[in-house]
Amino acid sequence: MTTEDNNAPVLIETLPSGGGYRVGLATLNAPKSLNALTRDMVDILLPQLQQWQADDSIACVVLRGSGDKGFCAGGDVVQLRNSSLAGDGAAAAFFEQEYRLDYLIHTYSKPIVVWGHGIVMGGGLGLLAGASHRVVTAKTRLAMPEVTIGLYPDVGGSWFLNKMPGRSGLFVALTGVSINAGDTLYLGLADHFLAHEQWAEFIAGLGDMSWAEPVSHSADLTRLLQGLSTSAGEPPVSAVREHYDVIQAMTAGPTLEEVVTAITSYSGDDKWLAGAAKTLASGCPTTVYLIAEQLKRSLHMSLREAFQMELVLSANCMGFPNFAEGVRALLVDKDQQPKFEPATLAAVTPELVAAHFVPPWDGANPLDDL
């Protein structure tokens, strides 16, 4: 099976392999937007992954992005902003389907490889984080910069940020800092470091697999990727690991306000820390509080509960003005001067934060059936 339309938002292929098995290959196909995730993409991927999961002839699934610059630069936030301004509910519907897709990847019954080359941001990380075999390359650049647009780290961030070493998840979320392949391995967001040029070799290796028993398919795939990694060289040094003690010290304050002050008052020569401080200082004050509350509430949640909470948060963020204003300043008018409301941390009230966690619908959460 091959997608007949080469302009389709997701290209679908099945590749022949050994033992009578096949490999499902899905390619995000919007290289001009760095494969930004759209509703059309989600509506193709979700049923396709479900179909492959039920097909006994499919040994594993591979997900990649087209082009050489990025796997997925996140959700199409301009379209989400348009929906937010129109109040038409399309944004909330997108989040529901996106989280269903992310949850499916986390709980997939077959091995699923995500080739996380180049830019991986926001919604792209949602696709990467839950895969059983997550590949990164020398050019992988990952970030969750939602603090700059008045959103928060969703797509399962409530689940995986709390599992990072120490308080590095809080730091990454608050600062939207860019991290590399070495960081992703250290933080538990990736499993294998390969050269992007090894893609063809990887695909050839999948074609040669024998796939003896379904129970061993994950181990078979791990052996293939580990074998390829021996010639991939060393991953870049992890900035998060190098700065772990500093991050712990900066985030040790007894109040959120003190944590923010510790980060934003950095005045040293370290460019990575300086960049993190600058982004947080110009970020959305309400988002800062949402992140702290998000991680606090989700600390002992199941994956299912985390996605249900995120759907509430995301739907509510569409009803408050900060998201539309943040996207306007960053991507629409591009004046880089967002006017967030409230404008300061001190003006953010507990009542405003709590309102974001109140379900905006009557009855059951739409993701209760996960």
Active site residue 242: no
Active site residue 154: yes
The catalytic position among 154, 220, 293, 325 is 154
The half-sphere exposure of 290 on its side-chain side, counting CA atoms within 13 A, is 29
Q: Is 167 helix (H, G, I), strand (E, B) or coil?
A: coil
Q: What is the pTM of this model?
A: 0.97
- In angstroms, how far is the first alpha carbon of the chain from the final one? 29
Instruction: With CA atoms as reference, report the closest residue to 343 among 284, 291, 290, 280.
Output: 284
Active site residue 146: yes
The catalytic position among 24, 74, 75, 124 is 75
pLDDT of residue 5: 77
Q: Where are the domains of the chain?
A: 10-355
CATH class of the structural domain 10-355: alpha beta
pLDDT of residue 4: 62
Mean pLDDT, consecutive 10-residue segments, the chain of 370 residues?
79 96 98 96 98 98 97 95 96 97 98 98 97 98 96 98 98 98 98 98 97 92 97 97 98 98 97 98 98 98 98 97 97 97 98 98 96
Paired residues of 70 in beta bridges: 118, 119
